[in-house]
Amino acid sequence: SQQGEEDPQALSIQEGENATMNCSYKTSINNLQWYRQNSGRGLVHLILIRSNEREKHSGRLRVTLDTSKKSSSLLITASRAADTASYFCATDGAGAGSYQLTFGKGTKLSVIP
């Protein structure tokens, strides 16, 4: 079942601009993860933020988590054409020994050179 919902579904920006994608979810989580998928390829893990963290950085990526609003955002700064891909959030449900990751439908990002 899908819990994470990304917003927007599609985003088109110019190279050099920042891209912001949002994710909302419904139930308690241990962590939230963001993945990237180039067309037709496997998903690649970008960043993991735990439920007790509010912000995390990795290179040009910045992720925030607001557990009170059950939402997260992914910011890509100074975007490049190579950032063109689909981005998915995935929630890791709370509970002992939980293995299930629940994925949203993704945001399709197009970065125009």
User: Where along the sequence are the contacts to another protein (CB under 8 A)?
Assistant: 1-2, 30-31, 33, 35, 40-45, 48, 88, 90, 92, 97-101, 103-106
Report yes or no: 13 and 111 within 8 Å, Cβ to Cβ.
yes
Report the C-alpha gap between 108 and 69 in whole angstroms.
23
- C-beta closer to another protein: residue 33 or 84: 33
How far apart are CB 107 and another protein at their closest, in Å? Answer: 11
How far apart are CB 68 and another protein at their closest, in Å? Answer: 22
Report the C-alpha gap between 67 and 47 in whole angstroms.
17
